[in-house]
Amino acid sequence: MNGLPTHDHITGLGAAVVLLITVFVFSAGYAGQKLYGHFVVPEWVGQTIVVGLFVAFALFMLFSRLLNFGLISSSVGLLRRLLSPLDPLGRLLSRVDAWLVFIVAPTAGATLRTVPFRYFVLLSHIVLASWFAWFGPAPFGLAGTAWAILVVVAVNRRWSWIETERAKTLNEPDRQSLNSIELDEDLRDEAIWSILLLMLILPIGMRQFELMFPGASVFQIENGAINRLDAWTGFFGVELLKALPFLDWADIYQAQGQTRVSIGSAVSMHVLLLARAMIDLVFLSALVQAIAISVSLSRNRRDFLAERPGIDRLDERIEQAELTKLAYLQNGEFKFRPEIQNFLHYNTKRLSILRSRAKEGSRLLAVIVEIFRISQKRYYPPIEQLLEVTARKKVNQGELNSVLTELEEYGDFDLQSLMIARRQLNWKAGVEAERQRLVGIILRKTDLTPEREKELADILIGDQADSLNSIRVMVVQTLAQNAQRNPDNILYLSDARDSDRSKIVRDKVKRAMQQFGLVAVPQVHQQVG
């Protein structure tokens, strides 16, 4: 699927659950239409529900004991084997889920680095799609509603994937993400806001159904109310209020809505059922996700303080707050709480990275320095931090800048490591200035040797040539300046003069060679090895 990672995370068992929910919703709609006005729920159904709930809660209470005896895993394994014929459906659902996460969500701005811009793009998609759904002719306006709903679901699914992967990483800190998804993203707020916007999206979609069947009175609408957004949102809000879980006061007290829009046909009932089912499922998934995050963070903190093997750092969402608590200001200087002793086993690599990010004079920096002092740990070398930061699919600009500053202060300028970092950054957007800064460090801080000049040529020509014209121009000047001491530079420059894709770079090569009196070697085009 257009280069998507292969995902088969939904098995036949998961497909069966999705299928059951779908069948239930459509069966309920069909039965409701056929038996409208005569819908009677037999007593035995109520008895079955009570027994089912009792069994479910009993299993929940006995879950840990059953787990110890292996009954849960064996039962799940048996179910998976029995439902293996549904595995193809599970794979199809996995592809759809991956499409939402890796195509739709990024298209809607979920992967953008800057929060304001991310909100702007996300809201633009939803608002413009809703605008088209409101003003577009029926049934084409439904396309706007469908896209807005897809965006909401996609953002929530990406949030769920990130949190699931992050929870796994907490237990295995060195584990690489198998889902090819970045853990630096935090889409909680975007997911919640998008869910809230469903309150506007769904009523607008309902209006499209009314417009699709002119004269059929899908909904009962007072004169002039069909084009009033407040009338449609008021109707939907009242229906949601009547459906409040755990209370159902509307059924007990026979409450009726007094709205300008109301149910008028079987079609309107089906539309309302689907809208409410969507709200219930999306809200329920968000609630479960929020609870899972809270439990995961609490478990992570408890396991870290208990020094559980393999847990030597806190989750990024709480670590700075927890570390900052360990220091307080008294008489103009930082004092440290006794609890700092519980943090002496903190991951050295992670503390070093946090140290590079921390502001000068901050409580966080003071705590980190104190932990290093007490534990007598050594800082993680900046060059290794650089390799780790640049290897990420998405590079944090501020963190990269801090590491480069620390690298210059530390004075560790290993050529091979710097070149690896340069290659890892190549073609990555959003860090162009930092890429130029790194190449500047290579040019200024490493010794002039044939090996270095060959590495510089690698920046200018060949498969690993830098994507930025400005960086290749920087290298041209240095290679030309050092050509008398390293004659091979003339070969590199000649190749760039003839083959570089940018006229700016080719012209720079010609001027530099002329400036230093270098004679080009024609038709070289040899690749730097």
Q: What is the DSSP string of 95-130?
A: HHHHHIIIIIHHHTTTT-SSHHHHHHHHHHHHHHHH
pTM over 0.85: no
Average pLDDT over residues 244-260: 71
In this prediction, residue 524 has a pLDDT band, given cuts at 50, 70 and 90, of: very low
In this prediction, residue 371 has a pLDDT band, given cuts at 50, 70 and 90, of: very high
Token match 């965006």: residue? 151
Domain spans of the chain, in order of start? 1-102, 108-309, 316-375, 408-515
Q: How many CA atoms lie within 13 A of 169 on its CB side?
A: 19
Lowest mean pLDDT among 212-221, 300-309, 333-342: 212-221
DSSP letter, residue 176: P
CA angle 377, 382, 385 (to 5 degrees): 95
Residue 200: pLDDT over 60: yes
Asked if residue 296 lies in contact with residue 304, where contact means CB atoms within 8 angstroms, the answer is: no
In this prediction, residue 457 has a pLDDT band, given cuts at 50, 70 and 90, of: very high
Name the 3-class secondary structure at 135.
Answer: helix
In this prediction, residue 369 has a pLDDT band, given cuts at 50, 70 and 90, of: very high
**Alpha helices, DSSP H, located in 358-502:** 363-375, 382-391, 397-410, 415-425, 432-445, 450-460, 469-481, 488-499
65 vs 402, higher pLDDT: 402
Phi, psi of 35, deg, nearest 5: -105, 20
Asked if residue 71 lies in contact with residue 116, where contact means CB atoms within 8 angstroms, the answer is: no
pLDDT for the residue numbered 523 = 55
Average pLDDT over residues 176-180: 56
State how far the Cα of 142 lies from the Cα of 148, in Å rounded to an integer.
Answer: 10
pLDDT for the residue numbered 529 = 47
Q: How many other CB atoms are there within 10 angstroms of residue 10's CB atom?
A: 22
Question: Residue 399: what residue type?
Answer: E
Name the 3-class secondary structure at 420.
Answer: helix
In this prediction, residue 154 has a pLDDT band, given cuts at 50, 70 and 90, of: very high
pLDDT for the residue numbered 244 = 67
* pLDDT, tens digit (0-9, with 9 covering 90-100), for 258-280: 899 988 888 888 888 888 888 88
Q: Is the peptide bond before 139 cis (omega within 30 degrees of 0)?
A: yes
Q: How many other CB atoms are there within 10 angstroms of residue 520's CB atom?
A: 18
Nearest-CA neighbor of 219 among 268, 260, 266, 258? Answer: 268
Token match 């909100």: residue? 119
Residue 458: pLDDT over 80: yes
Q: What is the DSSP string of 22-70?
A: HHHHHHHHHHHHHTTT-----HHHHHHHHHHHHHHHHHHHTHHHHHHTT
297 vs 435, higher pLDDT: 435
Residue 528: pLDDT over 70: no
pLDDT for the residue numbered 172 = 63
pLDDT for the residue numbered 216 = 72
Q: Which range, 3-7, 407-411, 521-525, has the best average confidence (pLDDT)?
A: 407-411
Q: What is the mean pLDDT of the chain?
A: 85
pLDDT for the residue numbered 73 = 65
- Reading the block at residue 373, the tokens are 């002092």
Asked if residue 313 lies in contact with residue 319, where contact means CB atoms within 8 angstroms, the answer is: yes
Q: At what angle do helices 382-391 and 397-410 cross, to 10 degrees?
A: 160
Residue 250: pLDDT over 70: no
- Reading the block at residue 235, the tokens are 């109707």
Average pLDDT over residues 148-169: 87
Residue 64: pLDDT over 70: no
b/e for 452-485, b at 16 or more Cβ within 10 A?
bbebbbbbbbeebbbebeebbbbbbbbbbebbee
pLDDT for the residue numbered 180 = 61
- Reading the block at residue 346, the tokens are 């903190």
Residue 287: pLDDT over 70: yes
b/e for 202-212, b at 16 or more Cβ within 10 A?
bbbbbbbbbbe
Average pLDDT over residues 514-525: 77
Residue 2: pLDDT over 60: no
User: Which residues are bridge partners to 263 per DSSP?
Assistant: 219
